[in-house]
Structure 1
Amino acid sequence: MTAQTLGSRHSNPQKYQLLKAARPFSLVVAVLSCLQGIILGWNGSHAPFLFAAAILAGGILLQFAVNLINDHSDIRELDQRFPNASESDRQDIACLIDRNFRLGLLCFLMAILIGLFLISLRGLDLLWICLVGLAGAYFYTQEPINYKNRGLGVPIVFFMMGILMISGSAYVMSGYFKIEYFLQAIPLSILTSLLLLSNELRDFESDKAVGQQTLTVRIGYQKSVVLYRLMALSAFVAALLLWLSGVMPFSAWILMSLLALKAPWRLLTVPANERVMITPLTGRFHAIFGTLLLTSYLIPPLF
């Protein structure tokens, strides 16, 4: 079975290989979100290294789980995605998708075990955070909710993988909630949603062809490009406003990440076959922005 034999304008069978399905470049989302929460709650923790290790492990497992189950709904669309493939080739692809789904469920299980361990240390308040997070991660692409296909992926990921993961990590570290945790989570949460939006922009034509009702398919490509630009710029505005209001430390370092925004920004207006790198390049921008943002917590204030 080869990509040349099975490839079509709708999909590439190589995306179901384990390494590609796991999407390791997207781990920047879980790692940076967890790290921000860890930093925010570090001084309030009586066992910071233990909690930090558990938070990072759980966050990474949850990200892998979401990535590995993400393509499970493609099984229903194999005839559309691979119209030139033989029945046996489509069965082979279905087996790869099923394998990834099972591995994703295993990652969910391990993340749940870590969550139960943390609940035993922090109490039942953490249980509700874990339940909301797990449900949001699983039903991203799974029925009966499948909020990605309802056009809700971008806003819900902002909350689930951004606000909730960051403030929840801070709560695990410190044992209490503060409004500042939620406010300081906003800039990075915006870029977490931006990474998902870049994925929808990259796959706009193929998603539309197979009936995937993502936000970009629903509102149209050009409006999603405008949304991408507004979100990218609003992350800078939010961080700088939070600094000026005294909620965050000096964060002007993030302006250096504008250099990394140039490449994905340019790809917004190119033809579909030249747009393939927009998601990893947006991921690189997210990583640089996030690293600079977190660095601002670790260096002495300049003002």
Structure 2
Amino acid sequence: MTRTITVGLDGSPASLAASDWAAREAQLRDLPLRLVTAWEWQAPAFAPTTGLGVPVPPSDLQRASAQRLLAQARSRVGEAHPGLRIDTDEIPGLPVPALLKAAEAAELLTLGSRGLSKAAGFLLGSVSHAVLASCERPVVLVRAAEHGGHEAPAETSERQATGVADSRDVVLGLDLLRPNDAVIDFAFDAASRRAARLRIIHGWTLPPYYYGGELMPDLNDGMVELVRSELSDVLRPWQDKYPTVEVSAQATIGGAGRHLVDASYDAALVVVGRQIRHAPVGAHIGPVTQALLHHAVAPVAVIAHD
């Protein structure tokens, strides 16, 4: 079965931005685009208690609404990307289980994220958050620029309109303590397809070698060299596999989250990992990924791994 680039639609500007991003990704990968939406509506969790409940349309009207949404999105995307194979599917059920099911046959799943403001950044929303926390396929979160207040540069808009790949940096948040092949390979592959530079950011913490409040210079320099050496060792086989990808690697003191957010302002894509944890209660996203999702400007790819 041919995998697809799948995008979940709900009619919001963020989900339409996600469909635009997914269409370009489908062209980069020479794969079909699949537009999906769940047509079973769910009453708001915090609805006013009027005694009458929250009115939910009959199922035939819900499905008709989903079909209209998909038809409009297919027409819009098809006009911007002629020649791209576009499939549509309205899936019975509530959004989270429907999207998780759709992701099983996807190369990656793309979802929209609603932006709040320049200061607040992402508002993931309950559906996107729940899907991201449980999905074992790569998930890309795309923010609608008009919601976040961060408009794409004019040259980027022109590239998108003409179908030319975005050559801005792909950014990878790399954990040297637990480097994962799937995460690294995704980032290198994304940069290769875009003919873009791969910018790698690793955050690390200095050991408590202090004397009178001052770092001991020799020990500090030694730690820096050790981290740089480890970074080179981890990246060497990937640079051999992707020889055309220009790599810029930096080890930053402190958590990587803030540095990844800063890098997202002029990036084509930010790639991070999420360790799969089958916990009895809830799911794990991780503090760095969580911070990035709430504040990043560029699309964020979250790669689940064991």
Q: Give TM-score, length-normalised by structure 2.
A: 0.26
* Higher Cα radius of gyration: 2
Relative contact order, higher structure (CA 8 A, sep 6+): 1
* Larger strand fraction of residues: 2
Q: Give TM-score, length-normalised by structure 1.
A: 0.26
